[in-house]
Structure 1
Amino acid sequence: MARPNAEVEALLQEYADLIAITGGDAFKARAYEKAARAIGGYPADISTLDADGLREIPNVGRSIAEKVTEYLRTGRIALVEERRARIPAGVRELITIPTLGPKKALRLYEDLHISSVSELAAAVEADALADLKGFGEKTQDNIRHGIELLRRAGARVPLAPATDTAEGIVAELSGVTGCRRCAYAGSLRRMRETVGDLDVLVAAERSAPFMDALCELPVTVEVVARGTKKTSVRTGKGLQVDLRVVPPESWGAAMQYFTGSRAHNIRTRTIAVHQGLKLSEYGLFDTGSGEPVASRTEEDVYARLGLPWIPPTLREDRGEIEAALHGELPEVVTERDIRGDLHTHTDLTDGLASLETMVEAAAERGYAYYAVTDHAPDLYMQRMTDEKVLAQRERLRELDGSRRRMRLLHGTELNIGPEGEVDWPDEFLAGFDLCVASLHSHFGLGRRAMTRRLVRACENPYVHVIGHPTTRLIGRRPGVDADWDEVFAACARTGTALEVNAQPDRLDLGDADILRAREHGVRFAVNSDAHSVPHLGQLRYGVGTAQRGWLTRDDVINTWPLTRLRRFLRKGGRS
């Protein structure tokens, strides 16, 4: 279930948006945004804190702490509801469109009486915005693209909140008397970047107690359909949950069937037919006699079909069946394989926790090494200076000396400029253990210019990793336009790794691009890009994406021992 931290983060961010819509104080709106981020990333459960404890969270002052306390006590914040009442519902709908800010949404409502996404789409197509100040051709193109992104996302839910909901439901149902097994399946088990609905399976002799339990969970707001074999409910976030209870002896077949994908299942059923068998959610049966031949475990089902067990993240009919038949299925990277995180931030720039706190949290995860990579000075709002980063390096070296089990690496996240240039001259960059370089601006450059920009960054002897390479934000911002095959070839040629950024709204590179880059011989780094202690745990989503891209331990540089990693970081033989 959602942590109170996440609920309050969303509410405070909404309040910041409402302030902006009504033309309120920009500094006040920014204060609420900062507080929202700080609470969302705070490691402790805020429901356990009193007002004094809340004020210890960065950017949370007395007034905001009082509002948080009000929410924890009553489930609402009166001031937010008052502000909501002042804003037409249509305007609140318009600001869900990526690229459309609150001020422009209010202008559209006041000047053209547009109060829905469909009305805005029609107005754009009819060229009805042409005479509205501030809505030139480029703005209209951005709005058109934002509507397309919104519609493409539809009712799909991002991976992280879907996982939180599913794990909460599985935990609750696992405690019901008679539960033999309980797990989620479907696209969430395959680690798709967004999820349409949740499939939850229970193995038990009786189904009624589990159907009752699901309908009575706090997360359930609507019972869509209820039966003895399947019950569907909807959560407060609009996510449909389908629960199926199967006999314990059918568990493996049910997990295989309901994990999918549909295309993968068609292939496995076809193999079954050719062997005189029938495969369903209840088991693998002899077609002639009707006798079951395998069903208790997925391994049994796949083995009877003449296949090894295929990891769920590979089940997309992208060659996994052929690879399995020929003994060429990759042993995909797992979270246990990750020896260290190579892209993280502290409160020296835009992180929420101190260097010491982040290092301690990384050590608790059992890492062999850990890199701190705060932003460089060209990202001007972070106010990085030479003096600050050198002082951080000195402190990190002190901590490294006290931690023999986890080695600390001092890095930075550079900004790739429009011409492929990066912050700091070569002689300064030479002092870092590693440099991640990322795009943070100028996303609209043309294809040729963007390709040249990225290739030049790869060619820099002090750039080791290209961070969140496409810059996409899932459902909100598309990736930049570049000749990615040329970029992937440059990475392979120069020994520059591409990041699989584990932030759930990025997952960048995505699986399809990973598959293409891997064909070029590129190496990868699966990183959390953590800005707080809880973010370190998001690495799991990056690993899932890496698996979907068929990556093995050998493909991922932060699964390597430190000695091998250091050799890689001596890019181009540089000592």
Structure 2
Amino acid sequence: MATQRDKSHRPRRPAEPAGGAAATNQEISAVLQEYAELLAITGGQQFKVRVYDKAARAVGGCPTEVSGLDIKDLQAIPNVGKSIAGKISEYVATGTIGALEELRAKVPAGVRALTEIPTLGPKRALELYEELRVSSVAELEQAVRAEELRGLRGFGPKAEENILHGIELLKHAAGRVSLDAAMGLADRVVGHLAALDECGRCEYAGSLRRMRETIGDIDVLAASSDAEPLMDAFVSFAEAPEVIAHGPTKTSIRTTGGLQVDLRVVPPDAWGAALLYFTGSKPHNIRIREIAQRAGLKLSEYGLFDVETGDLVVSETEEDVYERLGLPWIPPTLREDRGEVEAARRGELPAVVTERDIRGDLHTHTNLTDGLASADDMVSAAASRGYRYYAITDHAPNLFMQRMSDDKILAQREQVRKLQARRPRMRLLHGTELNIDPDGDVDWPPEFLAGFDLCVASIHSHFTQPRDQLTRRLVRACENPYVDIIGHPTARLIGKRPPIDVDWDEVFAACARTGTAVEINSFPDRLDLPDTLITRARQRGVKFAVDTDAHAEVHLAFLRYGVGTAQRGWVTSDDVINTWPLKRLRAFLRHRASH
């Protein structure tokens, strides 16, 4: 079976072109990615496929809005030449690309449907269509279960298992979007409404406020004594071509990307109760209502009321409602009925880590490997965030497609030293992201690794090894004295690739024993470790690094998603090594290397 390779940080394809609304960088990126995939399916030249793939990534990581650039400025984006710049301009102006439509016409709709299966590449999708004439995911699933693939070359039982797993991933992700896509849309909606004079307060609620890893729809809550102007502004939102319902207290729209957004407007004095109610989760709200009932109270989105008299007790702030029920305020990211109510009653809620606690980023990339920005630009972007320290950790040579060499990494180390002289307020760390090979070894010998300030080690291939081999592979990496952090430990890509099958208790025990930190990767496609595994690791005393794995300047802002994921795992600032002062962090890194 062919070796699997990491295809992270790929943009998602939009359901439809941008239409009347200004095209976002992610939309344009997704269109270019689709063009690359259709080229691959139709037998286009491989170098051309790579060019469009790189251009898609470059546009997705561009720090400025691409839709406002002219042809000349578009060509200044890395990997965007004259032809691609012309296609971008065409898409921005018309909502489509003629050459893309021609490619779409060459590929049967059934093949395009099959390419949505995360574990099935475009060429194999075309092969299955041509051999079996399956033209939908449902038909392919039926063919697999009927063992109709067994007669095809390269489609044995393991391939069948992978396809079925990919179909399950696709079903689970149906109708859901990544956290960053939902957050970006919610921020734009909230900004649109908050600018109105009639809007007293406005905030997103629901699973987005709880920082779930994928979002099905967006709940927005506003406080106003005059709801009509807010509802009118909401239905006129540029990204909302469809109004599902338009009422005095609730209005629903569907965006150009197919996502439903619900707006609820409540009186200003009901804000706290409504925010608590619409944030959820449902099981958490049930627990809160049970406490209210035992106290002779009734909790709704309009307030906390006395059952006997019907009088309003409190409603203006969430803190007021929780306090009246004998509880401290519970952070939204903890409201999943995982023991947070009981911990609150005992006074044992953790002071979870916040974005303000993070002093630096310990896992980032530059254009020396697969990043999109220079070291100088990445360092400048980090400095603008007020970081006390910042690490550059480009890929090591065993990830062959990155073409790293000893000379290149040593030249970068010298460049980092020069950049340090210009940034005296921020300590620059020169590191690397090592590859954990199938047997648990990493790139470079010990004497070379000793020259780095820190080393992240990650799995980038051979994801389907047996459980015991994968477990031993990670344990061996932890036991390497030069490995400081295990990067994106489960190697999952949300909705695209499942997590590796590992005995996590054994791995976390090894991390605790060796003092190896575990990464909470903030990249929205990863959010890795997931929150449930974070909890298990924390219970074993494991330390964490909340990093962005940034491949562009704009990716540094992904930190908010990693912090939210860490909070969902009940992580405190002391649990996170990149909240520590530089002196403590350096002592931790030196301690690892001295073993």
- Regarding TM over 0.5, the answer is yes
Is 1:259 the counterpart of 2:279? The answer is yes
Partner of 1:358: 378
Is 1:486 the counterpart of 2:506? The answer is yes
Partner of 1:122: 142
Deviations along 1:224-270, whole A, 9 cap, x unmatched? 22222211221122211111111111000000000000010001000
Is 1:542 the counterpart of 2:562? The answer is yes
Aligned pair partner of 1:65 in 74, 82, 85: 85
Partner of 1:417: 437
Contact 1:464 1:571 in 2 (8 A): no
Paired with 1:371 and 1:449, the residues of 2 have a C-alpha distance of: 31
Paired with 1:571 and 1:225, the residues of 2 have a C-alpha distance of: 60
1:525-536 matches, cutoff 5 A:
525-536=545-556
Contact 1:462 1:571 in 2 (8 A): no
Q: Give the secondary structure class of the aligned counterpart of 1:201.
A: strand
Percent identity over the alignment is 66
1:66-215 matches, cutoff 5 A:
66-215=86-235
Contact 1:450 1:482 in 2 (8 A): yes
Contact 2:334 2:567 in 1 (8 A): yes
Alpha-carbon offset, residue 3 of structure 1: 6.0
Q: Give the secondary structure class of the aligned counterpart of 1:199.
A: strand
Question: What amino acid is aligned across from residue 420 of structure 2 in structure 1?
Answer: D
1:330-409 matches, cutoff 5 A:
330-409=350-429
Paired with 1:162 and 1:73, the residues of 2 have a C-alpha distance of: 25
Alpha-carbon offset, residue 44 of structure 1: 1.5
Q: Give the secondary structure class of the aligned counterpart of 2:264.
A: strand
Partner of 1:56: 76
Paired with 1:386 and 1:569, the residues of 2 have a C-alpha distance of: 22
Aligned pair partner of 1:510 in 503, 513, 530: 530
Alpha-carbon offset, residue 2 of structure 1: 8.1
Question: What amino acid is aligned across from residue 425 of structure 1 in structure 2?
Answer: P
Question: What amino acid is aligned across from residue 382 of structure 1 in structure 2?
Answer: Q
Give unpaired runs (5+ residues) of structure 2.
1-20
Is 1:279 the counterpart of 2:299? The answer is yes
Report which stretch shifted further, 393-402 or 363-372. 393-402
Paired with 1:222 and 1:163, the residues of 2 have a C-alpha distance of: 20
Alpha-carbon offset, residue 326 of structure 1: 1.2
Paired with 2:88 and 2:288, the residues of 1 have a C-alpha distance of: 52
Alpha-carbon offset, residue 136 of structure 1: 2.0
Partner of 1:460: 480
Question: What amino acid is aligned across from residue 319 of structure 1 in structure 2?
Answer: G
Contact 1:299 1:309 in 2 (8 A): yes
Paired with 1:9 and 1:284, the residues of 2 have a C-alpha distance of: 47
Deviations along 1:114-154, whole A, 9 cap, x unmatched? 11111111111111122222322222111111001111222
Contact 1:378 1:415 in 2 (8 A): yes
Paired with 1:180 and 1:327, the residues of 2 have a C-alpha distance of: 33
Partner of 2:330: 310
Report which stretch shifted further, 46-55 or 32-41. 46-55
Deviations along 1:385-421, whole A, 9 cap, x unmatched? 1111111101101211221110000000000011110
Paired with 1:404 and 1:354, the residues of 2 have a C-alpha distance of: 19
Deviations along 1:11-63, whole A, 9 cap, x unmatched? 00011111111122121111100001011111111123211111111111111
Partner of 1:288: 308
Q: Aligned Cα RMSD in Å? A: 1.2
Paired with 1:3 and 1:296, the residues of 2 have a C-alpha distance of: 39
Question: What amino acid is aligned across from residue 118 of structure 1 in structure 2?
Answer: A
Partner of 1:217: 237
Is 1:429 the counterpart of 2:449? The answer is yes
Shift in CA distance, 199/6, structure 1 to aligned 2, threshold 3 Å: same
Paired with 2:257 and 2:556, the residues of 1 have a C-alpha distance of: 25
Shift in CA distance, 41/76, structure 1 to aligned 2, threshold 3 Å: same
Paired with 2:451 and 2:424, the residues of 1 have a C-alpha distance of: 21
Paired with 2:543 and 2:373, the residues of 1 have a C-alpha distance of: 30
Partner of 2:46: 26
Alpha-carbon offset, residue 278 of structure 1: 0.4
Alpha-carbon offset, residue 164 of structure 1: 0.8
Paired with 2:319 and 2:221, the residues of 1 have a C-alpha distance of: 17
Contact 1:2 1:164 in 2 (8 A): no
Alpha-carbon offset, residue 573 of structure 1: 7.0
Q: Give the secondary structure class of the aligned counterpart of 1:570.
A: helix
Contact 1:2 1:165 in 2 (8 A): no
Structure 1 length normalisation: TM-score? Answer: 0.98
Deviations along 1:290-319, whole A, 9 cap, x unmatched? 111110111111111111111000001111
Paired with 1:573 and 1:48, the residues of 2 have a C-alpha distance of: 49
Paired with 2:447 and 2:127, the residues of 1 have a C-alpha distance of: 50
Deviations along 1:62-94, whole A, 9 cap, x unmatched? 111111121222222111112112222221111
Paired with 2:429 and 2:371, the residues of 1 have a C-alpha distance of: 17
Alpha-carbon offset, residue 454 of structure 1: 0.5
Is 1:329 the counterpart of 2:329? The answer is no
Question: What amino acid is aligned across from residue 91 of structure 2 in structure 1?
Answer: Y
Alpha-carbon offset, residue 177 of structure 1: 3.5
Deviations along 1:269-296, whole A, 9 cap, x unmatched? 0010111110000000011111111101
Aligned pair partner of 1:443 in 463, 466, 473: 463
Contact 2:450 2:593 in 1 (8 A): no
Once superposed, which parts of structure 1, at least 4 consecutive aligned residues long, lie more than 3 Å away?
A: none
Contact 2:481 2:593 in 1 (8 A): no
Partner of 1:299: 319
Question: What amino acid is aligned across from residue 366 of structure 1 in structure 2?
Answer: G
Structure 2 length normalisation: TM-score? Answer: 0.95
